[in-house]
Amino acid sequence: MKLVVAGTGYVGLVAGVCFAEAGHNVTCVDVDEKKVKLMESGVSPIYEEGLEELMKKNNEAGRLHYTVDYKNAYRNADAIFIGVGTPEQPDGSANLSYIATVSRQIAESLEKDCLVVVKSTVPVGTNDKVEQFIKDFLVNDVKVEVASNPEFLAQGSAVRDTLHAARIIIGTESRTAEEMLMKIYEPFKLPIVSVSRRSAEMIKYASNDFLALKISYMNDIANLCELVGADIEDVARGMSYDARIGANFLKAGIGYGGSCFPKDTKALKFLAEKAGYHLETVEAAVSVNARQKTKLFQKASDRMITFQGLKVAVLGLAFKPGTDDLREAPSLDNVELLLESGAEVYAYDPVAMDNFKRKYPEGLLKRGKISYVEKPEDALQGANICFIFTEWPEIKEVPAESYKELMQPPLVYDGRNIYDVKEMEEKGVEYYSIGR
């Protein structure tokens, strides 16, 4: 089947590559000509395990194409998947301007009947508006239907999550649209849940926000554990055996980040308020997460007289391992505070440093300064304090004794509970973590 994917970010590019892997003929559309040429050469513009290999494989097989010529791509497509961004606006609502732009381009380009499928995360009711918007601007006499097909990939495992998803959600308003989406996804051999468009839109928000709630709940319990002398990891292990709770998303830390949870919790909160309803649980999750991000900085501030002139090692910049994405990463909030406090930051991340440099170029910034190093040990050498923000394998592999040997004093604030508390104490490290 001839498929076109609009947008080549995490959603669009991963979807396009996986559709090609499933045997479809896929064209990915983007506005950036340099990015298109990069992808044509087999290089992925985002860091995602397994993605580049599949890009090269399907490029060579002739099933995967890239273009900035949207008119030619859209005009005779069997189905067009919209995977552009819906960034958060200041009030928490989703910015649908990219969706609108692509919708109008589709309307003005189509020369045959087509199914338009929105994969982007959008407020409930958006697909109805997209269908009407496209029909308002159609140039040719063609039939267009719009369907909802939200993605549930996690950055760092996006390819695996797409090819081996727990389920595929499709939201349609006609049997024709439903059958076409079923046919597109048939090669994936995965369970398909078919619902209305509005239900599909809500499933996406309800799922992401539930996981965000789970994380914030565990962080809240972790903070209480510290006060009453319990260990959050023991608590989580005990909870995980309960099938009603499950073992996933029970790990305490310094909060969630990334492109989905922060944006989607705020968007659902905004949607509820607009409908005249107050989502207290989601609001609480947002509040807990905001406080959790800088919890360790506050702890360190209580311990230190000042950060002025101190060498501070920062291990991990990405919001999670397996990605170079910095959106809503706790490292951003904490490095900002450290630089404002006059610290000399030495930062390490195996893949996200180039992205971080765009926001914090190497050298003097604010009252402090920042440098980037190639190994965790380079950051720790002579450091007075260390913050761990991402549990990369390269960081987890640093022996406990290295902190004692390289730092002066060996003062470690671990936001991901990488190390054993007793081992760090035995090695002579002053060690603070979350909920332990």
What is the radius of gyration, based on Cα positions, of the chain?
24
Q: What is the pLDDT of residue 83?
A: 96
Considering the domain architecture, whether residues 264 and 345 belong to the same structural domain is answered as: no
The residue from 18, 114, 260, 386 that is catalytic is 260
Residue type, 147: A
Average pLDDT rounded to a whole number, residues 146-169: 94
Q: Beta 344-348 vs 64-67: how paired, if at all? A: unpaired
Considering the domain architecture, whether residues 106 and 76 belong to the same structural domain is answered as: yes
CA dist., res. 436 & res. 424, Å (int): 13
N- to C-terminal Cα separation, the chain:
54
Considering the domain architecture, whether residues 242 and 264 belong to the same structural domain is answered as: yes
Residue 260: active-site member: yes
Q: What is the pLDDT of residue 364?
A: 83
Q: What is the CATH number of the domain that holds 231?
A: 1.10.1040.10
* Short-list 256, 294, 124, CA closest to 203: 124
Considering the domain architecture, whether residues 82 and 141 belong to the same structural domain is answered as: yes
* Boundary residue ending a domain (291, 326, 353): 291
Q: For residue 127, what pLDDT band results from cuts at 50, 70 and 90? A: very high
* Boundary residue ending a domain (257, 291, 325): 291
How many domains does the chain contain in total?
3
Considering the domain architecture, whether residues 345 and 415 belong to the same structural domain is answered as: yes
Cα dist from 358 to 19, 320, 354, 355, whole Å:
32, 19, 7, 5
Query: Which tens digits make up the pLDDT trace of 38-73?
Result: 999 999 999 999 999 999 999 999 999 999 999 999
Considering the domain architecture, whether residues 18 and 99 belong to the same structural domain is answered as: yes
Q: What is the pLDDT of residue 328?
A: 94
Q: What is the pLDDT of residue 172?
A: 98
Average pLDDT rounded to a whole number, residues 120-129: 96
Average pLDDT rounded to a whole number, residues 252-276: 93
CA dist., res. 352 & res. 355, Å (int): 5
Considering the domain architecture, whether residues 184 and 240 belong to the same structural domain is answered as: no
Q: For residue 155, what pLDDT band results from cuts at 50, 70 and 90? A: confident
Q: What is the pLDDT of residue 149?
A: 98
Considering the domain architecture, whether residues 272 and 345 belong to the same structural domain is answered as: no
As beta bridge partners, residue 288 has none
Considering the domain architecture, whether residues 86 and 16 belong to the same structural domain is answered as: yes
Q: What is the CATH number of the domain that holds 306?
A: 3.40.50.720
Contacts of 231-236 spanning 24+ positions with Cβ under 8 A: 231/435, 231/436, 232/417, 232/434, 232/435, 232/436, 233/417, 233/435, 233/436, 235/435
Considering the domain architecture, whether residues 39 and 69 belong to the same structural domain is answered as: yes
Q: For residue 352, what pLDDT band results from cuts at 50, 70 and 90? A: very high
Q: For residue 259, what pLDDT band results from cuts at 50, 70 and 90? A: confident
Peptide bond into 409 cis (omega under 30): yes
Average pLDDT rounded to a whole number, residues 213-240: 97
Structural domain containing residue 185? 2-195
Residues 330/389, Cβ–Cβ less than 8 Å = yes
* Boundary residue ending a domain (145, 173, 195): 195
Considering the domain architecture, whether residues 344 and 379 belong to the same structural domain is answered as: yes
Considering the domain architecture, whether residues 394 and 328 belong to the same structural domain is answered as: yes
Average pLDDT rounded to a whole number, residues 7-21: 96
